[in-house]
Amino acid sequence: MTDKPQKPAHPRTMAVHHGTRRSQYGEMAEAIFLTQGFVYDTAEQAEARFIETGPDEFIYARYGNPTSRMFEDRIAALEGTEDAFATASGMAAVNGALFSLCAPGDHVVAARALFGSCLFVLDLLAKFGVEVSYVDGTDLDQWRTALRPGTRAVFFESVSNPTLEVIDMKAVADLAHAAGAVVVVDNVFATPVFSRAVELGADVVVYSATKHIDGGGRALAGVICGTRDYIRKVAEPYLKHTGGAISPFHSWIMLNGLATMDLRVRAQADSALAIAKALQGHPALSGVIYPGLPDHPQHDLAMAQMGSGGTMIAFELRGGKDAAFAALNRMQLVKISNNLGDAKSIVTHPATTTHQRLSEDERARLGITPGLLRLSVGLESADDLIADLRQAFGN
């Protein structure tokens, strides 16, 4: 039994109700179907299901599961895509989205400023005979030069990690579509709350649900959103046979996360703006990078594209690594870790952790200096966070 269709509804309403499927017991909360498989009434039914699987029919949990299907339907409705496929992690989603699209001899253009594991996946594509060109994602001329007729896909993070560059999604999508390329966007930093990716031309939107969708740093998960044809005929065959399936338990965690995501992410973004404003001009800092501040190089674009500066801030400390480490070690409320989108505020020193594997030159090129700290703003009081950061930066 599926709840009555909620579309078109306000995103907050859809995030609570959309896609709910109830068993014969009529349970209120979404049920967790912890089962590997499903029983068929007859041999004929089993045969028919392997030929064509209907929306309320399942075969094996690696292929699909009722709890996971609720999560997929709900996030697809929020993102504005026809369908979605949930995965074991954000990286299973990035890997699935790109590998399912590409074949040896294909050409992919990617922005250079990417999460380290995303760079690993692109290097892997190159190993298997896909040509990958890297560009500065904020420079449209570089996209224009790198794209060519027959380019299979473009890939970028709409807001880059950790330096918070904002990519002009509509402009890049127009150039990519003119070349016939599929636009694949890693939209983690923008969050599903502030996303207008599909409206701006993205064909495939990928999330690490581990971040804002969970919102509590509890479980790994990912999701790929796109057209029904792409999801069911391209991404799903790749994922269901290579084993990137999400656990039904994690889908249930993510369903619960979605219900509160809008409230959480908006509160986190409000605090991020308050913190960025309060610490701008602090004597220990040579810069505060936050797309919601008017001095951010893509401030207008960020506002047009997301309507918010988001939940992440980067601080540039005078005094390099020593100053950055001293500040980290003085933080009391803000935890040193590397997740983001959590209810708890988290600070990261990218140069020595998430981006440690890059060469010094590559880090310098990406603006990942020894004094750079990345803050994921949580749900604590903004005043408490500002006080903790001020004392850590040496008032």
Ligand X SMILES: *Cc1c(COP(=O)(O)O)cnc(C)c1O
Task: Map the footprint of ligand X across residues 218-237, applying CB under 6 A.
Answer: 220, 222
247 binds ligand X per the rule CB under 6 A:
no
- How many CB atoms within 10 Å of residue 274? 17
Give the DSSP per-residue string, 99-156: HTT--TT-EEEEES---HHHHHHHHHHHHTT-EEEEE-TT-HHHHHHH--TT--EEEE
The site for ligand X, by CB under 6 A, has a size of: 16
Residue owning tokens 């990690």? 161
**Least CB distance from residue 319 to ligand X, whole Å?**
27
Stretch in the footprint of ligand X (CB under 6 A) among 19-27, 75-83, 208-216, 270-278: 208-216
- Can you tell me which of 169, 188, 254, 279 binds ligand X, judged by CB under 6 A? 188
Task: Map the footprint of ligand X across residues 129-158, applying CB under 6 A.
Answer: 157
Minimum CB distance to ligand X smaller for 159 or for 285: 159
Minimum CB distance to ligand X smaller for 20 or for 89: 89
215 binds ligand X per the rule CB under 6 A:
no
Residue with CB nearest ligand X? 90
Task: Map the footprint of ligand X across residues 15-44, applying CB under 6 A.
Answer: none
328 binds ligand X per the rule CB under 6 A:
no
Q: Confirm if 180 and 149 have CB atoms less than 8 A apart.
A: yes
User: What phi and psi values does residue 108 have, to the nearest 5 degrees?
Assistant: -125, 140
Stretch in the footprint of ligand X (CB under 6 A) among 1-9, 206-214, 267-275, 308-316: 206-214
**Least CB distance from residue 223 to ligand X, whole Å?**
10
**Alpha carbon of residue 391 to chain centroid:** 32
Q: How far is CA 68 from CA 26, 35, 38, 135, 186, in A?
A: 18, 12, 14, 36, 21
Using a CB cutoff of 8 Å and minimum separation of 24, what contacts does 273-281 make? Answer: 273/309, 274/382, 274/386, 275/313, 275/375, 275/377, 275/382, 275/385, 275/386, 275/389, 276/309, 276/313, 278/386, 278/390, 279/315, 279/386, 279/389, 279/390, 279/393
Assign residue 236 a region: left if phi > 0, alpha if psi is -120 to 50, beta otherwise?
alpha
Minimum CB distance to ligand X smaller for 125 or for 220: 220
**Least CB distance from residue 12 to ligand X, whole Å?**
24
**Least CB distance from residue 120 to ligand X, whole Å?**
11
* x-or-dash string of contact with ligand X, 158-187, rule CB under 6 A: ---x------------------------x-
**Least CB distance from residue 84 to ligand X, whole Å?**
15
Q: Confirm if 343 and 215 have CB atoms less than 8 A apart.
A: yes
Closest-CA residue to 160 (of 113, 208, 205, 200): 113
Assign residue 204 a region: left if phi > 0, alpha if psi is -120 to 50, beta otherwise?
beta
Residue owning tokens 């339907």? 73
Beta strands in 238-317 (DSSP E): 285-289, 312-317
- Can you tell me which of 76, 91, 246, 323 binds ligand X, judged by CB under 6 A? 91
208 binds ligand X per the rule CB under 6 A:
yes
118 binds ligand X per the rule CB under 6 A:
yes
Stretch in the footprint of ligand X (CB under 6 A) among 2-10, 114-122, 176-184, 363-371: 114-122
Minimum CB distance to ligand X smaller for 20 or for 348: 348
- Can you tell me which of 19, 64, 66, 90 binds ligand X, judged by CB under 6 A? 90
89 binds ligand X per the rule CB under 6 A:
yes
316 binds ligand X per the rule CB under 6 A:
no
List residues near ligand X by CB under 6 A: 89-91, 94, 115, 117-118, 157, 161, 186, 188, 208, 210-211, 220, 222
